[in-house]
Amino acid sequence: MRGCWNAGLGLVVVLAGHAAAAQGDLCFPLEGWALVGRWHVGSAARSGCEGWAMRPRADRDWRKVRVGANLPAAPASWWLRATADWESARWRDPVVVVDSLPAAARVYLNGAELEGAGPWPAVLRRGTNLVAMSLPAAPAGGVPVPRLRIRAIRRSDGGEATVASPSAWRIRADEVAQSLPASWLHGAGMGEWRVALTGPLGGDERWLAGSAAILVAAVDLPSYWRSHPVSLWLHGILGRPDVWVNGRLIAPALVPPARLDLSGVLRLDGHDTLCLAYAEPPPPGDPDAGWGVAALHWAASPSPPRLPGGATLVVAESAWAGTVGLRHALRYAGEVLAVSATPWPLTLARPWMPPEVQPEAAGALVSALCSTVFRGTEFAAALTTLGTRCETLSAQGLARLWIIAPPTAGRRRDTVANSRLQTFSRDLAAFADARGARLIPLYDVFRSALKRSRRWPVRTVLSDDAGVLTPAGAFVAGLVVLDTLSLP
């Protein structure tokens, strides 16, 4: 596909072809489930569509302005970009300083936003680094161009000095359209946009300008899904986006969590598109930002737990560093049951401090997770602690126990850490059998997913190198919990 920018309208004009991501934007960690692993970000602001905060060669035709000169008036924000070289062999502990930074300005280093007013301790890559700034619309009198300085400590003598201070910036005024083109709702234009790999509305790359924006994913489901009633599950999505599938409005002003029936909407020809369209960016400050998940399932409901309706499960505390990911996993599990075609209420007792065990609780979930995955000596101590915890819960009348095994660590299954975790998972299975408990086999499921991930269009990361769950991994973990609870 080829495209150009219409300076008068501020829109991308599609010249030929229908853009779609190669082989789609899905991953398939579990049978019958597909997760959106890659989103294409389109924005009514040209800066957002082209990624002015991160692309190093997008400013060759930009105007050059010296530090201290006044920016002319502009209806939209000004963007400034400068580069600085870094020699890690000579310098350490770099700090980014911007003098005379206007209020409401936003500063980006190599595409990541720097929070606060600065100075900012930074991690620079060897060679060229890109610093970009978005300044609010300039008034009639203009705004002085701020000065950038990179300060660091010299390795040879420990003295502090300015490593780089560009004398000029490349500048360009943003161009913002009043609304999104209708063709974008069909996926047209995706080939020209930057890509966000971290999930919907997660991280610094969410919005580079306060304008209308759209997230689009190419949906390529297997042909054998045709005989299934496919549903779309949306959890943790910020704001109230309109949900479009193949140019058809499915849910205006979505309120997550939600399940949307896609029967008769998907073509399953490899060119389906899913769009989340925002008239304006969601407000910042949501504590769950970055934990949005979009998934497709070939059924309207998962198998319900083999528990009394409306049952309560106690969640025992854990000292694991990845407790936040596990909390979201259990939240996803409850939400999936709540919005399914046959809603099933499941209550998780107030969880992350040791809860007061309720006599009506049907059982308890206990995590067997260590503070790290790299020391095999910690596993024996973890089993001892787990045994004590299980005995305490049983003494309090909770006869049914489910033990959550740790997930894999990182992208590769053949690492030393995962080898140790495999041994620990086997020990946990024996431990659970000896006590009549049920193991929730996160490690086995994640390892199987890693084995098949090379065949996915998008190799979504389920956990980091320390075994901490990502949003996609937390959602998969929640599904594994539900599947285990449904077993007799």
* CATH fold of 312-485: Rossmann fold (3.40.50)
* 449 membership: H or E segment, kind and range: helix 442-452
Residue 421 is encoded by which pair of tokens? 């975790």
The β-bridge partners of 217 are: 274
State whether CATH 2.60.120 applies to domain 2-51+177-297: yes
Across 149-160, b (16+ Cβ under 10 Å) vs e yields bbbbbeeeeeee
Structural domain boundaries of the chain? 2-51+177-297, 63-173, 312-485
Domain with residues 63-173, CATH architecture: Sandwich (2.60)
Specify the pLDDT at position 317: 66
Query: Averaged in consecutive runs of 10 residues, what is the pLDDT profile of the chain (488 residues)?
Result: 27 28 79 91 81 77 90 84 93 93 87 85 92 80 86 94 94 85 80 62 50 87 91 91 94 93 90 89 71 93 86 75 82 93 78 49 80 69 85 82 90 88 91 92 94 89 88 94 92
Going from the C-alpha of 133 to that of each of 112, 142, 148, the distances in angstroms are: 11, 16, 10
- What would the two tokens of residue 311 be? 């049952």
Same-fold call for 2-51+177-297 versus 63-173: yes
How is the beta sheet containing 78-86 ordered, strand by strand?
63-66, 168-173, 78-86, 127-135, 106-109, 112-114
What is this structure's pTM? 0.82
Q: Which residue(s) pair with 195 in the sheet?
A: 40
Q: Which residues pair with 131 in a beta bridge?
A: 82, 109
Q: What is the reported pLDDT for 57?
A: 66
- Distance in angstroms (rounded) separating the CA atoms of residues 202 and 35: 15
Please give the pLDDT value at position 225. 93
Strands (E) in 31-77, as ranges, are 33-36, 39-43, 63-66, 70-71
Specify the pLDDT at position 336: 94
* Residue 371 CB contacts under 8 Å (≥ 6 apart), including other chains: 319, 320, 321, 378
Residue 275 pLDDT: 92
Q: What angle do CA 166, 170, 174 make, to 5 degrees?
A: 140
DSSP string, 199-223: -TT-STTS-SSSS-EEEEEEE---G
